[in-house]
Structure 1
Amino acid sequence: MMNKHDISEELKQKLDKFEVDVPDIPLKKSLSQRIANWLYAPAKNPVDLISKQWTPLTIALLPMIILLCSIPLLFI
């Protein structure tokens, strides 16, 4: 990376001919923008939390889990 003192005089003169407008970019967002970003942030997919690998154990336990969850429905 070049230092300001490393630039030759000829290059400095050529660069001084150009005028660049740099817009002001706020570094900190306003409170309303931060709240809006929080509200409209994409939701995480809950299916991604579940393991996508079907092992023989999970295949065998799945009917048992469904059966255990449905037992309270028999007493209604």
Structure 2
Amino acid sequence: IWTNSRYKNISRKIRQFLYKALYSIYKIGEYWTNIPMYEQHVRCTHCNADKESIEHILIDCLNNTNFLVWSLAN
């Protein structure tokens, strides 16, 4: 994925998102596990899933925004 994202026909913002998603730079899910008083951030705030992740946010989460984004992407 990262090799293909270097093509100039993919916008800079999309390339940045892919890079951050692939290297777990976003502060979601597991990031909060060992930070005192922030453990509740591990769970998804929309559907209360056990562990939030990029995959969960983009594909698995059942919130309405997710459906809107995918319908606009089509």
- Give the TM bin, normalised by the shorter chain: under 0.3
Q: TM-score, normalised by structure 1?
A: 0.20
Structure of higher RCO (CA pairs closer than 8 Å, 6+ residues apart)? 2
The higher radius of gyration belongs to 1
Q: What TM-score, normalized to structure 2?
A: 0.20
